[in-house]
Amino acid sequence: MARLFIAVWVPEAVRATVRAALAERRSAVPAADEEAVGDRAPPDGGLRWIPEEDWHVTLAFLGQVGDVHAAVEVLCGSALDLPGPLEAAAGPATACFGRRVLHVPVTGLVALAQAVAAASWPPGAGAALDREPVPHITVARSGPSRSGPSRSGPSRSGPSRSGPSRSGSAGPHAPRTGGGVRVFAGIPVAARWMVDAVALVSSETLLAGARYTEVASRTLR
């Protein structure tokens, strides 16, 4: 049994653009309780930054799937007709989902998300596949929570990296910033990239936080 989703990883060039857009505002907002541990949030409801190497756009959340191999076969099988490569655009500005999630909207991937959701996934998948896709990159979260997620498994842009976690900053002492997510809403962002692959990713919840592992990927042709 594995908790699975289909995603597009965000390349370094786009991460650098978002990083630069946020830099001035981040430097102006004082850090709060950088020694926060586990579920103990800073008293001001500080903000936890997701490790950049874990940034992704979720196309479809499959949920708890018992047959991971079957999910891999669906993703890589000829019956799944996916459009692409596609150009994705991040922006035009940072935004919030309520008071808890800071994200960057992404356009250009709705058709891809809909094609993924329409696939014949194995039993157990599909609890959220009927939702209207809202592609985005989550960059920070607010409020009580464990540390941010970390990603492991093969890399699309380089050699495979081994080890239990790729994100050293995602441990129990992950930096937090005071002020909440709304302080960072409305910052202009403009970045484009060609999406030439999608990934099947598992999400595992550990005591130190969640960990992402790429199970399989498919090139868009």
Question: Is residue 35 pLDDT above 50, yes or no?
Answer: no
Q: Is the pLDDT of residue 178 over 60?
A: no
Compute the half-sphere exposure of residue 157: CA atoms within 13 Å on the CB side of its CA: 8
* Dist CA 199 CA 8 (whole Å): 6
Out of 37-41, 107-111, 141-145, which region has the weakest mean confidence (pLDDT)? Answer: 37-41
Residue 141 reports pLDDT greater than 90: no
Q: What is the mean pLDDT of residues 139-149?
A: 64
Q: Mean pLDDT score of the chain, rounded to an integer?
A: 81
pTM score: 0.80
Band (1; pLDDT cuts 50, 70, 90): confident
Q: Which domains does the chain have, with CATH numbers?
A: 2-219 (3.90.1140.10)
pLDDT greater than 50 at residue 147:
no
Q: What average pLDDT does this structure show over 155-178? A: 41
Residue closest to 101 by CA, chosen among 59, 148, 62, 163: 148
Name 214's Cβ contacts closer than 8 Å, sequence gap at least 6: 151, 152, 153, 154, 199, 200, 201
Mean pLDDT of 1-26: 96
